[in-house]
């Protein structure tokens, strides 16, 4: 039990760093710095206390990723190493208690933010009105600095619940459905709502095999998805004159093309794009951080998925739709979303019955 204690401050700091941007107005960059420092500090403590160790491939990935940051002269590229560090850390500090703690602290901070908004008008200046397809809509920030940020905060809580919830917990399904509907009504964040509704539907329909390992075929599909979505994103960018797509995606294809024309695709990216809200994780990474960083991001994701020897159906659903969500939001480096996924990769190693394989195993 003593070994597990170090995970608690790490989880707390990752979650609180995200909420600090809403609660006290610190920048996203400052929030990310707090996360990086917290993760590096906890990993160093764990290494010195000999409660974790690195595999050779993890050391190789981290050294290459650090070298990329040095060559590009961009400190924020160190964020790529954080994914590997989190994966290595929770492969040793693997417990479903971590997921419970993450979900509770996230939900508590979410409720404090929302209650402050409704009772004291906290951050109400970030409510917005915008034109969407056939009319003007009002979008509430519910205490966050942007309506989509509120939905993303709920997504993190949703992931924590759904990844650790009993498949027979019908009350849990109802709670997540009502919570998602409520957040959508306030924020009008369509994509986030559709993603959460899809996860709920699939997990409910497949509840009898949620914690069984997926086949090698499905694991391979999951590995291919991020690369495919880079291609889909480039295709969307080339549809900038398609009025139908622009209407459905709130003008995103046109925005993508404008930023592409501004900087193009380079080896090391462009800091101008990094500071813009591109609303597409894949293009934001490709244009902002460059080809080299994007390639190693894909390699890191492949390692992450391959490191889970028994990837469950539940995790397959969540990770797949997380990647889909990245097509319309900049979220692939949102550690408050990655954290429950990474923790679940290693909880599944302990809890999945080795003999229980779903019927479509290849």
pLDDT at 172 over 60: yes
pLDDT band of 284, cuts 50, 70, 90: very high
What pTM did the predictor assign?
A: 0.91
Domain locations in the chain as residue ranges: 1-93, 216-297
Q: What is the mean pLDDT of the chain?
A: 88
DSSP character for 75?
A: G
pLDDT at 1 over 70: no
Q: Report, as an integer, the average pLDDT of 344-355.
A: 57
pLDDT of residue 357: 38
DSSP character for 214?
A: P
pLDDT in tens, 311-328: 999 999 999 999 999 998
pLDDT in tens, 49-97: 988 999 999 999 999 999 988 888 888 788 889 999 999 999 988 877 8
Of 27 and 323, more confident: 323
Give the pairing type, strands 128-132 and 135-139.
antiparallel
The total number of residues shown for the chain amounts to: 362
pLDDT in tens, 150-165: 999 999 999 999 999 8
pLDDT of residue 237: 92
Closest CA to 69 of 276, 296, 278, 286: 296
The 8 Å CB, 24+ separation contacts for 21-28 are: 21/145, 21/149, 22/113, 22/123, 22/143, 22/144, 22/145, 22/149, 23/109, 23/113
pLDDT of residue 123: 92
pLDDT of residue 191: 92
pLDDT at 330 over 80: yes
CA atoms within 13 A on the CB side of 11: 27
pLDDT of residue 133: 66
pLDDT in tens, 98-124: 999 999 999 999 999 999 999 999 999
pLDDT band of 350, cuts 50, 70, 90: very low
With beta carbons less than 8 A apart as the criterion, state whether 339 and 102 touch. Answer: yes
pLDDT in tens, 221-274: 999 999 999 999 999 999 988 888 887 787 888 989 988 988 889 998 888 787
């Amino acid at each position: 039990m003593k070994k597990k204690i170090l995970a608690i401050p790490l989880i707390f700091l990752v979650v609180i760093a995200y909420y600090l941007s809403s609660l006290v107005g610190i920048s996203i960059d400052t929030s990310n710095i707090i996360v990086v420092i917290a993760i590096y500090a906890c990993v160093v403590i764990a290494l010195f206390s000999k409660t974790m160790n690195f595999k050779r491939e993890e050391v190789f990935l981290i050294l290459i990723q650090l070298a990329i940051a040095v060559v590009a002269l961009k400190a924020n590229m160190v964020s790529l190493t954080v994914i590997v560090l989190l994966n290595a850390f929770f492969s040793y500090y693997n417990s479903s208690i971590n997921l419970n703690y993450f979900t509770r602290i996230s939900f508590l901070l979410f409720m404090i933010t929302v209650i402050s908004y409704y009772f004291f008008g906290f951050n109400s200046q970030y409510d917005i009105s915008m034109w969407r397809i056939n009319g003007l809509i009002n979008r509430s920030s519910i205490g966050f600095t942007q309506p989509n940020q509120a939905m993303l905060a709920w997504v993190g809580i949703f992931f924590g619940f759904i990844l650790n919830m009993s498949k027979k917990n019908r009350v849990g399904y109802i709670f997540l459905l009502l919570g998602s509907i409520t957040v959508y009504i306030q924020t009008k964040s369509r994509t986030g709502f559709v993603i959460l509704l899809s996860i709920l539907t699939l997990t409910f329909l497949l509840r009898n095999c949620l914690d069984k390992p997926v086949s090698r075929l499905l694991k391979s599909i999951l590995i291919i998805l991020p690369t495919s979505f880079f291609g889909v994103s480039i295709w969307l960018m080339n549809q900038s004159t398609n009025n139908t797509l622009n209407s459905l995606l709130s003008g995103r294809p046109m925005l993508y093309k404008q930023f592409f024309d501004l900087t193009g695709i380079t080896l090391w990216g462009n800091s101008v794009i990094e500071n813009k809200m591109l609303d597409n994780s894949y293009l934001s990474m490709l244009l902002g951080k460059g080809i080299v960083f994007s390639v190693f991001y894909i390699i890191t994701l492949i390692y992450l998925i391959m490191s889970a020897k028994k990837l469950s159906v539940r995790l397959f659903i969540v990770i797949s739709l997380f990647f889909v969500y990245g097509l319309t939001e900049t979220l692939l480096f949102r550690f408050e979303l990655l954290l429950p996924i990474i923790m679940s990769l290693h909880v599944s190693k302990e809890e999945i019955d080795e003999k229980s394989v779903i019927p479509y195993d290849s």
